[in-house]
Amino acid sequence: MSAPDGWQKGSFRGVPFRTEDHQTSGGRRGVTHEFPQAEKPVWEDLGRSARSYRITCHVVGADYPSVANALADALDQAGAGTLIHPWFGAMQVAVPEQGWSRRDSAIDGGMAWFDIEFIETGLPAPAAPANDTQALSEAAADTAAASAAEQAGRRISVSDAVAFVEEAADQVVQAAALAVQVQAALNGGVGPTLSLLQSHLGALGSAATLLRAPVALGVEMVSAVQLLTVIAGSPDAGARSARALMDFGADLDPVPGNTAARQRQRDNQAAIVQLVNLAASAELVRCLAAQDFASYDDAVAARDDASDRLDALALRQADAGDDDGAAQYDALLHAVTVDLTARGGSLARLRGFTPAVTEPALVIAHRLYGDPANVEAQASEIVARNRVGHPGFIPGGMALQVLEGGVE
């Protein structure tokens, strides 16, 4: 006999079964009130009672014991679970005390019969677990930073090299340390963190020693870049410093010649540049994960900028035959893209607005959003976003970018 219309294969917590028949029961909850001298009781309706679904089903086949045991385990599992009811579809149910029984039979090569009672719980089907995209970005940054130091240890070498090879490598390290120092000066900063950064920069100043222990060189450089973004004082400022160091090496002169010594010099220069670029890329992704964006457009702009930079570096390393380095950039690219896309999706969009006449930011904010309790915050956001020179005088005809719906 064919299955009725709408029928589907049953399962509970993903364990399938074959349904023989089913029975549904329900009703209303209530309390009957009987009053003295009253000929008729009063019944108080308290709402619909939980529905009960009784299903007779079986599992059959050569592997029926394992499937039957899995179904039994699913029925005993704590909490509500997803039942695919053959007639009613997916629902969240629980199995009450003594709510199921099992009978095994040798018929048809072996089978197990189940009589099961399910009680509806009213809970929605569980949503797919959401990833913490910021934590995933931070983890990718940690992995890339560790890889940067490890790769430096494998690829930088001055042992048994002629003097000019070591001198050239030392000059590249000094240039990298200077680039970090320039960014530190732009960021400012005081206290123990700045002192620790200066300590790492001092160690990099003795590159002749570190070049003979390239793993230590890698650790010192990665630590300096990480501290640089810390003393920046904000994720936004830290990201600006990281972007600058991702460009390190672009203006270095290419190494001429094809001798073995020149090839060693060329490889060392590329390895030191990669060390700085990868450490800075890790910190860019870390800073963006910590940054709060005011609008969807801000998050997308930061995502696209980071994606372009990381993609270019990945391509450079792939072209150089460095698959490991390219993979690190690709992992960072994936993490930052997922993070900023997810977080940006729930933010307000930007739209354009051009005031007809010169007027204060407060007036514009009130006209746009009509929220007296929050008008100062709205005006401050307009001024900051559009870099207005004076909040009391926004020129008429000035094209502004404003948030749809304003600041929450």
pLDDT per residue as tens digits for the range 238-296 = 999 999 999 999 999 999 988 999 999 999 999 999 999 999 999 999 999 999 998 88
Residues sharing a CB contact under 8 Å with residue 186, sequence separation 6 or more, in sequence order: 241
Confidence of residue 328 (pLDDT cuts 50, 70, 90): very high
Strand-pairing partners, residue 31, are: 44
| Cα four-point dihedral sign 340, 239, 138, 189 | negative
Residue 102, H or E segment: strand 100-105
pLDDT surpassing 60 at residue 118: yes
The enclosing H or E element of 33 equals: strand 28-33
Nearest in space to 291 (alpha carbons), one of 240, 344, 235:
235
pTM (whole model) above 0.75: no
Q: Which CATH class is domain 350-403?
A: alpha beta
* pLDDT value of residue 29: 87
Instruction: For domain 10-120, give the fold.
Output: Elongation Factor Tu (Ef-tu); domain 3 (2.40.30)
| pLDDT(187) > 90 | no
End-to-end Cα, the chain, rounded Å: 61
Beta strands 89-94 and 350-353 are unpaired
How far CA 218 is from CA of 8, 213, 214, 287, in Å, comes to 60, 9, 6, 21
Q: How many angstroms separate the CA atoms of 52 and 99, rounded?
A: 11
Least confident segment among 41-50, 167-176, 177-186, 212-221: 41-50
Token couple for 316: 């450079």
Average pLDDT of the chain? 86
Q: What is the pLDDT of residue 1?
A: 42
**pLDDT class of 317 with cuts at 50, 70, 90:** very high
**CATH 3.10.350-classified regions of the chain:** 350-403
Residue 130, pLDDT score: 57
Q: Which residue has the tokens 């559009």?
A: 386
Sequence-distant (≥ 6) Cβ neighbours of residue 346 within 8 angstroms: none
- CA–CA separation, 357 and 359 (whole Å): 6
Q: How confident is the model at residue 144 (pLDDT cuts 50, 70, 90)?
A: very high
Alpha-carbon distances, residue 31 vs 2, 47, 170, 342 (angstroms): 44, 11, 88, 50
Give percent above pLDDT 70 in the chain: 93
pLDDT above 60 for 305: yes
**Long-range CB pairs of 191-196, under 8 A, 24+ apart, other chains included:** 193/227, 193/230, 193/231, 194/231, 196/227
Report how far residue 286's alpha carbon sits from residue 90's, in angstroms, rounded to the nearest whole number: 41
Confidence category of residue 189, pLDDT binned at 50, 70, 90: low
Q: Residues of CATH 2.40.30.200 domain(s) within the chain?
A: 10-120
Mean pLDDT within 148-161: 89
pLDDT at 131 over 70: no
**What per-residue confidence (pLDDT) applies to 124?**
56
pLDDT at residue 15 greater than cutoff 90: no
Contact, 402 vs 367, CB < 8 A? no
Instruction: Quote the strand ranges of 185-292, DSSP E.
Output: none
Q: 């501290």: which residue's tokens?
A: 227
